[in-house]
A and B are shown apart, each in its own frame.
Chain A
Amino acid sequence: MKKLILASAALAMTAGMAMAESHGVVRLGTEGAYPPYNFLNDAGEVDGFEREVGDELCARAELTCEWVTNEWDSIIPNLVSGNYDVIIAGMSITDERDEVIDFSEPYTQPDPSIFIAASDSVDTMGGVIAAQSGTIQASYVASSGATLLEFATPEETVAAVRNGEADAVLADKAFLLSVAEADPELMVVGEDVLLGGGVGLGIRESDGELKAKFDAAIQSMKDDGTLNALITKWLPDAVTF
């Protein structure tokens, strides 16, 4: 009897090893500072739109997933060096990023970026505009006529508008709308700016198998409408699929 248990345990172990061979646990890397996409809730856990999407995707792809947070600045270097397997951090699909890593199918429609400011007379093309460094918005402001003011976190970019350091802040619409709703002194100004090509999962270029699994899972979520439901829940003003 004892032998039998041992044998079955060994069998289970080998099965586990085989799984481990290709992604026993898939580690999802996120920033945890970009509500509603991803943020840390009161319990200190990752929460938000991407938390729900990610968990659902993992369930559909039959993967065990684990959430880790990483600074935005080093989020891609840590992916390519293998410290986690997927970036799920509201990362827009751009050509320059695509040269280094692979993206899954987008799981949001291209989300326009908007400006919010403390007054509606702000010149978004010639004023002082805050943006998070290393984002597509920062590159956009640098090449427009405006004066770019860069901060390390999204929080600081909004704080800069509140205290008058910057005239306006440019960031993803969903993020800024949630900020503007909570603070009656801030308002949306100017027109939407269309940057990037929707948000996708960042995956190592050599990891084609994982990309295929996630692509299939995203497609199935698109097909049965669960993705749209989540988008409506978390990103009320975004376009659905």
Chain B
Amino acid sequence: MTTGKHMSLYWSLGTVLLLLAITAPTALAFGFGGATAARSQIPPLRWFGKTYMAIVRGVPDIAFFLFFVIALDQGFEYLRHKVLCPDWDQPIRQGNDFIVCTIAKLPLGNAPQWVHEVYGFALAVLTFAIVFGAFAANVLFGAMRAVPKAQLETAEAYGMTQRQINRRVLIPQMWVYALPGLSNLWMVLIKATPLLFLLGVEDIVYWSRELGGTKTPQFTEYPHGDWRMWYFAGLLVFYLCFTKVSEVVLARIMARLTRGQATAAGEAQRKAIA
């Protein structure tokens, strides 16, 4: 249980938690951008926001993960190439190869392995954030529309500008409507992490499969049969516990946000106090 390989498994657990911790706010930011764009007065921006939501939500996340990371990687390198090597005369696509000048490579070809791993991790975070950002955008878009019109009109009557209304009324009010959707999204996000290995990040499922697989005595000091069952059982328990903890925490946040809101639950809280 303490071989180097097992250490990798424990590390990957940390990786997954870190990924969740970084992805959640990033996806929320993407969602916020998407929702604001979809509500925008400017038609191209509005179309962009709506297309983003529609397309990403319509595509299964695996299909997205399978080609998107490479596309993203090549996209970045292409941009850097354009900026850093303006006088490069060879074509970027030579047959099947994708070639940019050496200094445009991401990370640089001679960077140590950990830089590559961090970069791969960052790409995974970005991909997750783009996918889940679309869902978050959808939730926030709905939540913004669910804020009672009367409140916005009142704010207008007080002479607030559109920006002030957004900042002081709409956004603070919207969270309580968005939270049920967002907490669901968080649950989905947790359960999407087994797909991380598709993005080139060696996650807990990867290592469980690797460790649990049959080991013949020639290649290891700890031979054993097909133990994947037990490693996966461990994963199952991990995911169930994680879900339970999330549920409890989210319920607390919801109770906190509900305070003083014009919703049924808020009404119930008021009555309980009175």
Interface residues of A (CB under 8 A from B): 16, 19-25, 27, 32-33, 35-36, 39-45, 47-48, 66, 68-71, 74, 77-78, 80-83, 85, 100-101, 153, 155, 158-159, 162, 178-179, 181-183, 204-207
Contact = CB atoms under 8 A, between A and B. Distances in A.
B8 A44 contact: yes
Contact of B226 (A40, A159, A204): A159
Contacts of B226: 155, 159, 162
Scoring B202, B216, B221 by chain A CB atoms within 10 A of each residue's CB, the highest score goes to B216
B218 to A, nearest CB: 6
B73 A81 contact: yes
Interface string B195-224: 001101010000001100110111111110
Nearest to A179: B216
* B interface, size bucket: 35 or more
B93 to A, nearest CB: 10
B48 to A, nearest CB: 27
A53 to B, nearest CB: 16
B4 A42 contact: yes
A210 B254 CA distance: 59
Interface of B: 3-5, 7-8, 66, 70, 73-74, 77, 94-100, 102, 105, 108-113, 116, 197-198, 200, 202, 209-210, 213-214, 216-223, 226
A33 B210 contact: yes
Contact of B97 (A27, A33, A48, A80): A80
A44 B7 contact: yes
B214 A206 contact: no
A152 to B, nearest CB: 10
A206 B97 contact: yes
A178 B102 CA distance: 42
B97 A204 contact: yes
Contacts of B98: 80-82
Given A82-B98, A155-B209, 5 more contacts: A36-B218, A78-B70, A80-B98, A81-B70, A182-B217
Nearest to A163: B226
A184 to B, nearest CB: 12
A193 B218 CA distance: 25
A181 B223 CA distance: 13
Nearest to A77: B70
